[in-house]
Amino acid sequence: MKCDNLKFIDLFAGIGGIRLGFESVGWKCVFSSEWDKYAAQTYEANFGERPAGDITQIPPETIPDHDILLGGFPCQPFSIIGDMLGFTDTRGTLFFNIEEILRVKEPKAFMLENVRNLTAHDGGRTFKTIVAHLEALDYHVHHKVLNALDYGVPQKRERIIIVGFKDNVKFQFPEPLRKRARLEDILEDDDKVDKKLFSSKEIRERRLERIKKKHDYPYICHENVGGSVTPHPYSCALRAGASANYLLVNSKRKPSARELLRLQGFPEEYKIILGYGHIKKQTGNSVAVPVIKAVARQMKKALEE
């Protein structure tokens, strides 16, 4: 059975990374929701529609009928970067808004995305609770940690992907690509990058002093909490709230706004309408688009078979 015209909703939409992934298989977005006004501005500029606001204030009955529910629900309650409060954090309870929409609208399938640490939070009990709630709604649930580095972008970004189907379809997560993307394919020439993104001489020298291993160029390095600096032929995970000098290209400068989008696999025609600080936060909160595209293809294949 062909599944070319399915409808999906895009919850916690951010700047539309998940939407891009599922539009790539021919499916249509019929509703989106995002509470951050700046992310909503970027989303509107690129998709021609303003997302609805806070999902907690939207009755599930008023959401359009859809076949697929999509949501990269807030990860801060489960992230090792945050306080790991889980369901005691108000943002953590947003999962239950997803659960209620699934209960009321009963779509054919869903895909949820979160930080890897969700699987380990509270000794694994939080994740077991989430899966149990989804299965109680009669969904067949699949989950796996996928690394963006394996799917076409030079960024090490591990995220848990949770997929569910009403029917017991044969679903398999996408296999990693055999060849990894290269930094040189996404980096801009230094002379084309805003001079404001270049670090001070002191920061550059301090970084170079702390690199203890041989490395090739280009590279992106970051300084961990212990002060050690490691160069890689890829970027560590982009983070919304990281310090200004967290990631440095060749120990010189911060990645440009376009480079940040490329590290997440956004297309070249994706519009940048806000300043660097906003784009840094928005890409840090976003998804790696090629990962979502690969999952969308597998979901479509499973539904068709």
Tokens at 269, concatenated = 């025609």
Closest by CA position to 286, among listed 45, 10, 54, 101:
10
221 a catalytic residue:
no
Closest by CA position to 262, among listed 240, 242, 288:
288
β-strands 109-115, 220-223 pairing: unpaired
Rounded Cα distance, 32 and 16, in Å: 9
In this structure, is the dihedral angle defined by the CA atoms of residues 121, 123, 125 and 130, taken in order, positive or negative?
Answer: positive
Rounded Cα distance, 105 and 199, in Å: 50
Contact assessment for residue 118 and residue 127, using Cβ atoms and an 8 Å cutoff: yes
Choose, from 3, 29, 75, 221, the residue flagged as catalytic. Answer: 75
Residues annotated as part of the active site: 75
